[in-house]
Amino acid sequence: MRTPDPADEHRHEPDDTPLWNESYYFDWFAEDLSVGGYVRLGFYPNLGSVWYWACLVGPDRPLVTVIEHDVALPRSGSSLEVRHEGLWADHAVEEPNEHMSANLESFAVQLDDPAEVYRGARGERVPFGFELDFFTDGGAFLWPPVTPRYEIPCRVHGQVQVGDEVIEVDGWGQRDHSWGAARDWWSMSWNWTAGRLDDGTRWHSAGGFFPDSDWGVAYALTPGAEAFEEYEEVGIEVVEGRERLPASSRTRFGGLDLSYEPLAFSPVLLVSPDGREARFPRALARVTAADGRTGGAWVEWNQPPTA
């Protein structure tokens, strides 16, 4: 089984591509899908900024979200700590390929309708923070050499606080790290998923990059397996609802046929330097396999501007 180089857990030197990007994602959800969240730490050194997103979602709670696209770059080229008005966040490689932590102290916006993110995200300002630890669950998956990237299924523990509410986290998740490629949100669509079924099967998929093509990247990791099963074809079906928030989605690869019911959205509006707008809905989802197994996942759909 190919595994990531432990040195690649840390930041990398950029080239001069304007949209050169390095990002870390941290996704998590409770086993009963009552609550979940994610973090994205995105470095754009040639734009002189960091994009930082963090959220808390649940089927019976408002969206709590932090979306900042003009965070200053850390002074050190190796640091994963960022600071902004009303925001401090740090991320540490505790043990390469085995354990990372993510921490936040901030003010967030609370929204009853997640689609308000697309209209200015005006809502109630609330204190929001967490201390979360992501422990590798089964191994680290190195992508094919189309782009430098790896995905790691995780067990997640810690604590989240929003206002006066404290939430103990003992759940599942996924973290990933990618760098080097231009991340052009406004020219290419995609669908990304990562989750866990009730029998312990872990999976990840990414596809929908090109019209009329099933090329993608996916893995399945069954309990007790010594290696990931890898796939390069991912079938995707999406049914969009209001505000283009997907009402349902489906992915097929290898022996897995998975249907997703979005339970709670945390979208982001992405505005390019020339003013084009892409929508990036992400959702905590209930998953049902064609053979009857169930589970949970995070799912994302990048929606570039239409003609």
Query: Average pLDDT for consecutive 10-residue bins of the chain (307 residues)?
Result: 91 93 97 98 96 97 97 95 97 98 98 97 96 97 94 98 98 97 89 98 96 94 92 97 97 97 98 93 98 98 89
User: Whole-angstrom Cα distance, residue 288 to residue 296?
Assistant: 9
Which residues lie across from 146 on neighbouring strands? none
45, 14 contact by CB (below 8 A): yes
260, 249 contact by CB (below 8 A): yes
Structure-token match 């966040």, residue found: 89
Phi first, then psi: give them for residue 293, nearest 5 degrees.
-65, 150
Structure tokens at 246: 């997907």
Q: What is the pLDDT of residue 196?
A: 98
User: Whole-angstrom Cα distance, residue 213 to residue 230?
Assistant: 18
Query: Could you give the C-alpha distances from 272 to 49, 104, 304, in angstroms and in order?
Result: 13, 27, 10
State which amino acid sits at residue 27.
D
In 113-212, which residue ranges form alpha helices assigned H by DSSP? none
User: Whole-angstrom Cα distance, residue 140 to residue 154?
Assistant: 9
Phi first, then psi: give them for residue 296, nearest 5 degrees.
-135, 160
Residues 6+ away with beta carbon under 8 Å from 7: 96
134, 102 contact by CB (below 8 A): yes
Q: What is the pLDDT of residue 183?
A: 84
Structure tokens at 38: 């994610």
The span from the first CA to the last CA of the chain, in angstroms, equals 42
223, 196 contact by CB (below 8 A): no
Q: What is the pLDDT of residue 226?
A: 83
Residues 6+ away with beta carbon under 8 Å from 231: 205, 216, 217, 218, 219, 220, 253, 254
Q: What is the pLDDT of residue 306?
A: 81
HSE-up of residue 256 (Cα within 13 Å, Cβ side)? 32
Q: What is the pLDDT of residue 307?
A: 62
Is residue 118 classed as helix, strand or coil in its secondary structure?
Answer: helix
Structure-token match 């591509």, residue found: 17
Q: What is the pLDDT of residue 212?
A: 86
Structure tokens at 300: 């994302």
Q: What is the pLDDT of residue 1?
A: 64
User: Whole-angstrom Cα distance, residue 259 to residue 251?
Assistant: 7
